[in-house]
């Protein structure tokens, strides 16, 4: 059944139908935005296990990060290539600026008092992001930045918030809704957006800020002023009534938009897509105003763009409508005030539009309140919001206060375009959000490196004027770190969502809001605990995480800091591109094991990023960052793509497209907003006419596996060193389809994905007008025309599809009984031939980059047929050549001649270089076998030289060589050559490790090259329990070595390697002694006891060791000073073997002790065991 979800509370609802008269006086209001990220949301995951139940689990706030950088712990691994600890940010400088201390500690409260005293109807709307609130609390606690020395800093906020009210009862100091970690709701998706809004409210309600005084605001400020109608249902869920939106995103939806043929003239970006041109305004006029101190010119139609309107969202499945009031923000005035400290309605001459519509004009300014650039972060700018803006007949009127008497009429419903505020040229409010994401592509300057890495020979496209584009989009070959973040997000997000679903399914009464404050934070119904999701404590894992945060709550807690938009905004910095990865990895630490252990309970559909379209205007004019600011007039081809991930795997994913019967949309029409118009019409949803749209057409998406490029690509080397420091663990794949079937048509589309368990995700429906892709050149400008004579540029990277010519002249100039040598004439190609494939009897047997190939290993006296085909670097292959039939010669029974002239061309203390004269053979010599001291073959080589290594110094050796052919015939041995190695150094190593069945030694002499992993097997020695190996050092005087079991388990002396001198050394239990070991006497028997081996797997930092302590005298009677040291020879496994009385019940624990005597106990209850009556026992434990 159809219903409307209202966004206006009882006070405003009663006024919806009132027809308010026009008011000449313009209203004005301000929104100030304060935020600092959690610059490095680092948590030492190794501490989680040892944290007691009820202990706080927190990533680092910024004051802690300052201390971390000053004194990184020994187990800290995140360092820049320069060696400096991450993050690169100078947080002390950041926070010391007057713009920060003033905006966070003093100005908003003082300006609210000034507003109350001098303009009581005004409100000071402020965002204090959750991250900045927690950072300021951290700074005020640790006091490591000047200016933050008041532990009670939040008291003045709480006082003004709780005591100052407008005549209509609205708060003068209005802390409006915001995403707590500065995430952009349109980009991160509804689940992430909702959780970050809840986190924000939970933070504002902390005792050190607003505490119990906190109440949910009626308003919402979107991060970067970035709004989309997709946000509305989430805002509705939390009772939000209004949202601020950039004024040009209203104007760019008007049907009389006059700049379609002037691409780039409006804020330097592409004209709006014609699917967005839905609204009408018959009064007022268009105004073009340059931005202060910037290149953009902003174009708006007033008073349409200076009066609030309803904006709405319709659920595509149910047809349920949600609404908020869209409050236009004056982009010109906001930028001007941020730079120069003041702005008035005169910036766009609003007074000339008074009285044209019943709705009162509203001049709303929104900008940073803490920006240290320009004048935004200045107390005078804050005060000027009243004293300057509200002058000359302009009334200060808070937004909530405005809506008491000026709510738009219920029929005043408009469509708004996606987009953000107008900032620098790089952030020009384009509806594709290219300041924070860019499709995979190749920048113009990257093509040489790209071609070198891929073997392709590609170049940027040129536009119709012959200008090479700045960036070329290629979903198959391109890469960009910004959209990588959104691909990574899908993986971490799907794990968090699935963990949440599994947990709530198993706990149908887990948590729902019960107290008055709970209900200010979140929506009704069973859900994750917002307090635990925002400020988690350790739960008892053995008791279903009782008393603390469950894995889903921890996963969300660590995930939310990832997508701070600043990490994309300041992308030129050194490590911002891995700050999201840090949070993704920490979130996966908690979600992934929980989900994988319960994977059969997965009922969550794939996480699918909202469908991306490129180019923005198919078949029409485009110019924005994704083209490298190059003006393009494209043909009618376009791509739909997304990034998607599912914990159970994705079985199918497709784009669905349908065509409108008309070429424009009415803003009140619901037909195009629902998946099944006929069904929704039958259910009573109004404004639906199924005849307006056709049937859905399905297009399967192609998958690009992003795992190989998850942590960068070789042709963008600048990112690789830092990404290697914080490598990502999971990533969603890229799915895409290219479409060229539509021209001069209005379409709807969405993406649908199904996982391997049948769970389905259907994306949001979007609309696009596909232009004709044809143009005429009129007056020096390309004008779109369905009958035009100029074909538009193809939008995507054009890869070579032309195969080389067929190879010719295939012949066999030589053959033996077991081989055939082939030659052919070179092929030609439009780019270049990269190689040839050789086929024998229809099966490929080889490849060659030249025009020759020898096929060997054949059967004597046998006929074969051969063909060859050519290929190019793009993978295009020619047809196969004409068949060549050829037979091998009869079997070869003749041995090669005996090698002669064996000489030693050089000798060292550990090697001899041999050379000899080539033998001859009736079919050809295949190789030579080298023998040392009569009968030991030491090598088989194809040439006439060999260097024998690993020899002993001052030792005589005898060498012979014999030749062999392909048939296996061998000559007699050559005359023997005697050689004596000169004197040199050697090192003999005895090694004992009972955990290595077959020990290997991996080494280098002095500073020379290392052996190939795993090294050399160590031979048994004359001493029981030991193996040994002798290394000839030559002139070197030390041996650097490590040991392993040949299967990946290493003994590397805790990461420092073993350094041994010449002569004989013994290595056992991590201890090096000079000389050979002796046979140990057998241990004395204990007729009344048993031998128990304690093994524990535990990680330590430098200087720490693992000890055993327990309730028996042999275990130290719980005295840590008497605890028993375990051996680290098989680190991270630590071991000790003890003689203990039989049939005895024991309790014990492991502890860590460092050189200073500091003791760390493992968590949980005491371990317990009972020794056997006799014999032995082994306990295998893991540190907890």
**For residues 432, 438, 439 and 441, what is the CA-based torsion angle, rounded to 10 degrees?**
140
- What letter does residue 852 receive in the DSSP assignment? E
In the annotation, is 224 catalytic?
yes
- What letter does residue 671 receive in the DSSP assignment? G
**Phi, psi dihedrals of residue 492, rounded to the nearest 5°:** -65, -40
DSSP 19-77: -PPP-SSPEEEEEEEE----TT----GGGTTTSPTT-B--PPPHHHHHHHHHS--TT--
**For residues 888, 891, 893 and 894, what is the CA-based torsion angle, rounded to 10 degrees?**
-20
Residues 795, 798, 804: CA angle, nearest 5 degrees: 160
Burial 919-958 (b: 16+ CB within 10 A, else e): bebebebbebbbbbeeeeebeeeeebebebeebebeeebe
The per-type count for the chain, helices as H runs and strands as E runs, is 23, 63
- CA–CA dist 837, 871 (Å, integer): 8
- CA–CA dist 694, 4 (Å, integer): 26
- CA–CA dist 736, 425 (Å, integer): 29
Which of 368, 483, 817, 872 is flagged as catalytic? 368
Cis link prior to 764 (omega < 30° from 0)? no
**Phi, psi dihedrals of residue 690, rounded to the nearest 5°:** -55, -20
Which of 224, 266, 575, 829 is flagged as catalytic? 224
Q: 329 Cβ partners below 8 Å, 6+ apart?
A: 31, 225, 244, 245, 246, 247, 364, 365, 366, 421
- CA–CA dist 146, 95 (Å, integer): 8
Q: Given CA atoms 353, 354, 358, 359 in this order, what sign does their dihedral have?
A: positive
Q: How far is CA 448 from CA 105, 458, 459, 716, 927, in A?
A: 52, 9, 8, 11, 42
Q: Given CA atoms 967, 973, 977, 983 in this order, what sign does their dihedral have?
A: positive
DSSP 678-697: HHHHHTT-SS--GGGB---E
Cis link prior to 87 (omega < 30° from 0)? yes
190 membership: H or E segment, kind and range: helix 190-204
Three-state SS for 1040-1072 is EEEEECCCCCEECCCCCCEEEECEEEEEECCEE
- Reference 482, options 451, 520, 443; nearest CA is 443
- C-beta separation of 348 from 247 below 8 A: no
In the annotation, is 370 catalytic?
no
- Reference 895, options 915, 919, 930; nearest CA is 919
- C-beta separation of 60 from 42 below 8 A: yes
C-alpha R_g of the chain: 37
Residue 547 CB coordination number (10 Å)? 12
**Phi, psi dihedrals of residue 416, rounded to the nearest 5°:** -120, 145
DSSP 253-270: TBTT---TTSTTTTTTSP
Bridge partners of 1124, per DSSP, are 1108
- Reference 1154, options 48, 73, 179, 37; nearest CA is 73
In 871-929, which ranges are continuous DSSP H helix?
none
Q: How far is CA 737 from CA 187, 293, 795, in A?
A: 21, 41, 13
Look at residue 982 and give its three-state secondary structure.
coil
Q: Given CA atoms 658, 661, 664, 666 in this order, what sign does their dihedral have?
A: negative
- Reference 188, options 226, 244, 142, 146; nearest CA is 226
Which positions are catalytic?
Answer: 224, 368
């Amino acid at each position: 059944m159809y219903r409307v979800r209202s966004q206006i509370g009882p006070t405003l609802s009663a006024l919806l139908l009132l027809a308010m008269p026009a008011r000449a006086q313009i209203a004005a209001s301000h929104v100030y935005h304060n935020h600092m990220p959690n610059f490095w949301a680092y948590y030492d995951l190794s501490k989680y296990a040892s944290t007691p139940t009820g202990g706080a689990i927190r990533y680092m706030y910024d004051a802690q990060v300052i201390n971390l950088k000053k004194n990184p712990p020994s187990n800290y691994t995140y360092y820049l290539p320069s060696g400096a600890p991450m993050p690169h940010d100078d947080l002390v400088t950041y926070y010391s600026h007057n713009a920060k201390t003033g905006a966070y500690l003093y100005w908003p409260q003082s300006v609210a008092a000034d507003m109350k005293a001098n303009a009581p109807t005004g409100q000071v709307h402020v965002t204090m992001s959750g991250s900045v609130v927690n950072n300021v609390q951290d700074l005020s606690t640790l006091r490591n930045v000047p200016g933050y020395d008041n532990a009670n800093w939040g008291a003045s906020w709480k006082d003004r918030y709780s005591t100052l009210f407008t005549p209509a009862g609205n708060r003068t100091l209005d802390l409006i809704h915001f995403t707590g970690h500065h995430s952009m709701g349109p980009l991160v998706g509804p689940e992430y957006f909702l959780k970050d809004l809840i986190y924000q409210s939970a933070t504002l309600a902390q005792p050190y800020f607003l505490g119990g005084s906190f109440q949910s605001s009626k308003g919402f400020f979107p991060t970067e002023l970035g709004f989309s109608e997709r946000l509305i249902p989430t805002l509705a869920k939390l009772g939000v009534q209004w949202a601020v939106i950039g004024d040009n995103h209203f104007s760019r939806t008007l049907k009389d938009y006059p700049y379609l043929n002037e691409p780039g003239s409006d804020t330097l970006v592409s004209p709006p897509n014609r699917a967005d041109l839905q609204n009408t305004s018959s009064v007022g006029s268009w105004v073009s105003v340059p931005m202060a101190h910037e290149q953009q010119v902003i174009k708006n139609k007033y008073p349409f763009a200076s009066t609030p309107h309803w904006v709405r969202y319709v659920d595509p499945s149910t047809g349920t409508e949600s609404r908020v009031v869209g409050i236009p923000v004056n982009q010109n005035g906001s930028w001007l005030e941020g730079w120069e400290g003041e702005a008035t309605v005169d910036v766009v001459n609003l007074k000339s539009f008074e009285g044209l519509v019943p709705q009162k004009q509203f001049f709303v300014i929104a900008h940073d309140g803490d920006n240290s650039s320009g004048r935004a972060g200045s107390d005078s700018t804050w005060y000027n919001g009243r004293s300057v803006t509200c002058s000359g007949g302009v009334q200060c009127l808070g937004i909530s206060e405005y809506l008491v008497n000026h709510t738009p009429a219920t029929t005043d419903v408009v469509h708004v375009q996606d987009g953000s505020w107008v900032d620098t040229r790089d952030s020009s409010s384009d509806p594709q959000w290219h300041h924070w994401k860019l499709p995979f592509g190749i920048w113009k300057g990257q093509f040489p490196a790209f071609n070198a890495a891929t073997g392709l020979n590609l170049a940027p496209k040129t536009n119709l004027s012959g200008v090479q584009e700045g960036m070329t989009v290629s979903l198959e070959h391109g890469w960009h770190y910004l959209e990588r973040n959104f691909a990574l997000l899908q993986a971490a997000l799907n794990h968090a969502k699935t963990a949440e679903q599994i947990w709530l399914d198993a706990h149908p009464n887990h948590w729902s809001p019960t107290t008055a404050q709970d209900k200010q934070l979140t929506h009704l119904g069973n859900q994750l605990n917002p307090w635990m999701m925002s400020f988690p404590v350790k739960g008892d894992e053995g008791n279903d995480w009782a008393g603390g945060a469950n894995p889903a709550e921890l996963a969300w807690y660590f995930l939310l800091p990832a997508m701070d938009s600043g990490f994309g905004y300041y992308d030129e910095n050194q490590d911002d591109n891995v700050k999201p990865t840090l949070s993704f990895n920490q979130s996966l630490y908690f979600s992934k094991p929980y989900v994988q252990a319960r994977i059969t309970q997965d009922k969550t559909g794939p996480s699918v990023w909202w469908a991306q379209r490129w180019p923005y205007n198919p078949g029409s004019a485009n110019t924005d960052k994704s083209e490298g600011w190059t003006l393009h007039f494209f043909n009618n081809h376009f791509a739909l793509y997304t990034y998607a991930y599912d914990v159970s795997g994705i079985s199918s994913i497709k784009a669905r497209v349908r065509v409108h019967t008309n070429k424009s949309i009415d803003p009140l029409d619901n037909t195009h907003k629902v998946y099944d118009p006929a069904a929704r019409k039958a259910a009573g949803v109004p404004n639906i006419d199924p005849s307006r749209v056709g049937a859905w057409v399905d297009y399967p998406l192609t998958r690009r596996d992003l795992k190989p490029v998850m942590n960068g690509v070789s042709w963008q080397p600048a990112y690789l060193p830092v990404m290697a420091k914080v490598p990502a663990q999971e990533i969603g794949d890229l799915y895409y389809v290219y479409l060229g079937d539509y021209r001069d048509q209005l379409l709807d589309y969405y993406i649908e994905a199904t996982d391997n368990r049948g769970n389905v995700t259907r994306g949001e429906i979007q609309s696009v007008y596909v232009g004709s892709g044809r143009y005429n050149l009129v007056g020096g400008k390309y004008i779109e025309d369905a009958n035009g004579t100029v074909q538009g540029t193809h939008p995507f990277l054009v890869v070579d599809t032309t195969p080389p010519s067929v190879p010719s002249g295939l012949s066999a100039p030589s053959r033996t009984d077991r081989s055939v040598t082939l030659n052919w004439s070179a092929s030609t190609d439009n780019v270049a031939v990269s190689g040839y494939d050789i086929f024998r009897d229809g099966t490929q047997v080889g490849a060659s980059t030249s025009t020759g190939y020898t096929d060997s290993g054949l059967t004597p006296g046998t006929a074969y047929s051969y063909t060859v085909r050519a290929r190019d670097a793009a993978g295009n292959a020619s047809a196969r050549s004409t068949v060549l039939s050829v037979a091998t010669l009869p079997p070869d029974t003749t041995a090669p001649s005996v090698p002669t002239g064996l000489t030693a061309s050089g000798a060292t203390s550990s090697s001899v270089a041999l050379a000899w004269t080539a033998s001859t053979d009736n079919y050809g010599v295949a190789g030579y076998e080298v023998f040392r001291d009569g009968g030991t073959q030491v090598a088989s080589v194809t040439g006439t030289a060999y260097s024998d290594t690993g020899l002993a110094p001052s030792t005589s050796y005898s060498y012979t060589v014999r030749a062999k052919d392909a048939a296996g015939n061998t000559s007699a041995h050559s005359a023997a050559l005697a050689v004596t190695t000169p004197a040199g150094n050697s090192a003999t190593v005895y090694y004992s490790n009972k955990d290595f069945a077959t020990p290997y030694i991996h080494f280098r002499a002095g500073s020379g090259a290392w052996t190939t992993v795993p090294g050399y097997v160590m031979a048994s020695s004359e001493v029981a329990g030991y193996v040994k190996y002798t290394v000839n050092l030559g002139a070197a005087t030390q041996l650097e070595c490590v040991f392993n079991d040949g299967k990946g388990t290493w003994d590397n002396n805790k990461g420092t390697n073993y350094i041994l001198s010449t002569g004989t050394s013994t290595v056992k239990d991590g201890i090096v002694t000079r000389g050979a070991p002796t046979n140990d006497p057998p241990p004395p028997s204990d007729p009344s006891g048993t031998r128990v081996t304690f093994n524990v797997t535990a990680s330590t930092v430098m200087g720490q060791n693992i000890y055993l302590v327990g309730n028996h005298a042999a275990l130290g009677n719980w005295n840590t000073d008497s605890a028993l040291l375990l051996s680290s020879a098989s680190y991270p496994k630590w071991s000790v073997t003890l003689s203990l009385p039989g049939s005895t019940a024991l309790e014990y624990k492991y502890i860590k002790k460092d050189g200073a005597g500091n003791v760390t106990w493992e968590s949980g209850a005491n371990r317990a065991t009972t020794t056997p009556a006799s014999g032995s026992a082994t306990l295998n434990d893991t540190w907890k």
